[in-house]
Structure 1
Amino acid sequence: MDGPTHAMEPRRREDWTQKRGGGEDTYQLAEGERDRFAARISMGYPDAAAELEMRDTQGQGAPLGRLTPVAHAADVRDLIEVV
């Protein structure tokens, strides 16, 4: 690098994804894509009771093994033909 270097403050993780200043971006977003910036939620961590409940209800193996099909491939093809 030419010249002096300057220390920068570390960037917060929120800075990576949030738009600054409420201004327009370099290009206009489509109407269907604008709402993704309208809300922000925080999930947090579950409390001890919720963790125990998850362990007790989901700890019996992979739930995918207990799923049963609601339609077969032939049924889906028939529905596509109707539509």
Structure 2
Amino acid sequence: MQEEPDPEWLVRAEVLRGLKAVADAGLAYDVLVTPSQRPTAIGAVRAVPQLRFVLDHGGKPVIDIGEREPWASHIGEFAQLPNAAVRLSGW
């Protein structure tokens, strides 16, 4: 998703249909987002509860400048969703 110019791309009706097909196939969906795209990713996780989502690279916190928010709040939202996981990679 990170390369999509539309920040709401992941919650478009046609994309959500595709994500439901991924779930029906028994697969998981890895999400690679920029920090500003995290809320949309959370929306997609909520919209397709039957699909297992994996947020790549810990949701890309801006650690080089010590920014904790809004990353911590977003990760907290992901943690509340039973179909979401966070991959800690590339740090």
Higher strand share: 2
Higher relative contact order, structure no. (Cα contacts within 8 Å, ≥ 6 residues apart): 2
Output the TM-score relative to the length of structure 1: 0.20
Output the TM-score relative to the length of structure 2: 0.19
Q: Larger C-alpha radius of gyration, 1 or 2?
A: 1
Higher helix share: 2
